[in-house]
Amino acid sequence: MKSNFDFAEAAGAFACFAKPSAYVQADLYEPERDEYEQMLGGKAREELVAADFGTVAWGPLCYLTPSAMAYLLPRLMEIAASDATDSIGDLFMMRFINRFSAGPVGFEFSLLSAKQRTVVASFLEYLSTEHAEVVRQECWEDDLAEAVLNWRAA
């Protein structure tokens, strides 16, 4: 069964969020925070690519402010669905699944409304159908199933 996810509709659900003045949490160690801000802050959201979020071992994805997460979410979904890889060749989709598997419990998700949480859940379901083979090959199917359940339950 094919699943459809409307990326334009998803972007509309997050259109109320303006570009934040800072992307990274203020309490992060300063040199690292400054580097992460430089990686993300100078580009238009639509120009961001997987490599702009570093690698699984070093990158800003885990340190985004709530306003940055909300603003960037439509682009993060696009990058994840495009089978994009980071600078060392790892699929960004797997990092997205990992980051979102616990559900919207983290501080960075605190600005999301019920409607926006539903959009994220729908996107995760889309990944589980449209990208099932890649997810299985990378051994992330259990984490993705958990993510869907956690976002649906929120």
pLDDT at position 124, please? 97
Task: Tell me, yes or no, whether 100 lies in a domain.
Answer: yes
Provide the sign of the torsion angle of the four alpha carbons 80, 85, 91, 96, taken in this order.
negative
Domain that holds residue 133: 7-153
Q: What is the pLDDT of residue 139?
A: 94
Angle in degrees, CA 106, 67, 129, rounded to 5: 60
Determine, yes or no, domain membership for 107.
Answer: yes
The whole-number pLDDT of residue 129 equals 95
What would the pLDDT profile of 61-93 be if each residue is shown by its tens digit?
A: 999 999 999 999 999 999 999 989 988 999 999
* CA 49 – CA 46 distance, rounded (Å): 8
Q: Is residue 2 part of a domain?
A: no
Is residue 55's pLDDT more than 90?
no
Residue 131 resides in a domain? yes
Alpha carbon distance 34, 135 (integer Å): 33
Contact call for residues 128 and 2 (beta carbons, < 8 A): no
pLDDT for 3 equals 62
- 2, pLDDT greater than 80: no
DSSP state of 132: H
In this structure, is residue 58 part of a structural domain? yes
148 CB burial (10 A radius; 0-12, 13-18, 19+): buried
**What confidence category does residue 42 fall into, taking pLDDT thresholds of 50, 70 and 90?**
confident
Mean pLDDT of 44-73: 92
pLDDT at 1 over 80: no
Measured CA to CA, the distance from residue 127 to residue 41 in angstroms comes to: 28
| Confidence (pLDDT) at 47 | 92
Residue 13 inside a domain? The answer is yes
* 1 falls within a domain: no
> Is-above-0.75 flag for pTM?
yes
Say how many domains are in the chain: 1
Query: Residue 15 domain-assigned?
Result: yes
The string of DSSP letters for 31-71 reads: HHHHHHHHHHHTS-GGG--GGGG--SSS-GGGGB-HHHHHH
pLDDT in tens, 90-141: 999 999 999 999 999 999 999 999 999 999 999 999 999 999 999 999 999 9
